[in-house]
Amino acid sequence: MIPIKPVTAIKATAPVKRDLSDVPQDVTSQYLAAGSLNLTQLPPLSLYVHFPWCVRKCPYCDFNSHEVRGSFDETGYLNALRADLEAALPLIWGRKIYTIFIGGGTPSLMSAAGLDRLLSDVRTLLPLDGAAEITMEANPGTFEAEKFRSYRQSGINRLSVGIQSFNSRHLSALGRIHDGDEARRAVEIAQTNFDNFNLDLMFALPGQTLDEVRQDVETAIALAPPHLSLYHLTLEPNTYFAKYPPVIPDDDLSAEMQDLIHGKMAAAGYGNYEVSAYAQVKRESRHNLNYWNFGDYLGIGAGAHSKISFPHRVIRQARYKQPQTYMEAVAQGNAVQESYEIEAADMGFEFMLNSLRLQQGFKVALFQERTGLLLNTIEKELREAEQKGLLYRDHELITPTSLGKRFLNDLQQIFLKAE
Instruction: Give the amino acid at 169.
Output: R
Q: How deeply is 192 buried, as exposed, middle or buried, from its count of CB atoms within 10 A (0-12, 13-18, 19+)?
A: exposed
Tens-binned pLDDT, residue by residue, of the chain (419 aa) = 333 333 333 333 233 344 444 444 443 333 333 347 899 999 999 999 999 999 999 999 989 999 998 889 999 999 999 999 999 999 999 999 999 999 999 999 999 999 999 999 999 999 999 999 999 999 998 888 899 999 999 999 999 999 999 999 999 999 998 999 999 999 999 999 999 999 999 999 999 999 999 999 999 999 999 999 999 999 999 899 989 999 999 999 999 999 999 999 999 999 999 999 999 999 999 999 999 999 999 999 999 999 999 999 999 999 999 999 999 999 999 999 999 999 999 999 999 999 999 999 999 999 999 999 999 999 999 999 999 999 999 999 999 999 999 999 999 999 986 44
Same domain, 159 and 39: yes
Report pLDDT for 24.
43
| 284 lies in some domain | yes
Asked if residue 315 is part of any domain, the answer here is no
Residues 270 and 350 in one domain: no
272 shares its domain with 168 = yes
SS3 of the chain: the string is CCCCCCCCCCCCCCCCCCECCCCCHHHHHHHCCCCCCCCCCCCCEEEEEEECEECCCCCCCCCCCEECECECCHHHHHHHHHHHHHHHHHHHCCCCEEEEEEEECCHHHCCHHHHHHHHHHHHHHCCEEEEEEEEEEECHHHCCHHHHHHHHHHCCCEEEEEEECCCHHHHHHCCCCCCHHHHHHHHHHHHHHCCCEEEEEEECCCCCCHHHHHHHHHHHHHCCCCEEEEEECCCCCCCHHHHCCCCCCCHHHHHHHHHHHHHHHHHCCCEEEECCEEECCCCCCHHHHHHHCCCEEEEECCCCEEEEEECCEEEEEEECCCHHHHHHHHHCCCCEEEEEECCHHHHHHHHHHHHCCECCCEEHHHHHHHHCCCHHHHHHHHHHHHHCCCEEECCCEEEECHHHHHCHHHHHHHCCCCC
Q: From the centroid of its chain, how far is CA 204? A: 21
Number of domains, the chain:
2
At which of 256, 291, 326 does a domain end?
291
Q: Answer yes or no: do 280 and 363 share one domain.
A: no
CATH number of the domain enclosing 72: 3.20.20.70
The enclosing domain of 386 has a CATH number of: 1.10.10.920
d(Cα 59, Cα 416) in Å, to the nearest integer?
30
Q: Does a structural domain hold residue 325?
A: no
- Counting every residue written for the chain, the total comes to 419
Using alpha carbons, list the distances in angstroms from residue 407 to 236, 347, 394, 401, 415. Answer: 19, 22, 21, 10, 14
Measure the CA–CA gap between 338 and 316, rounded to whole angstroms. 8
Contact present, 199 and 184 (Cβ < 8 Å): no
What confidence score (pLDDT) does residue 18 get?
42
Q: CA of 32: how far to CAs of 25, 310, 314, 315, in Å?
A: 11, 7, 9, 9
Range of the domain at 360: 344-419
Query: Is residue 8 one of the residues assigned to a domain?
Result: no
Same domain, 360 and 264: no
- On whether both 268 and 380 belong to a single domain, the answer is no
Per-residue pLDDT, 417:
62
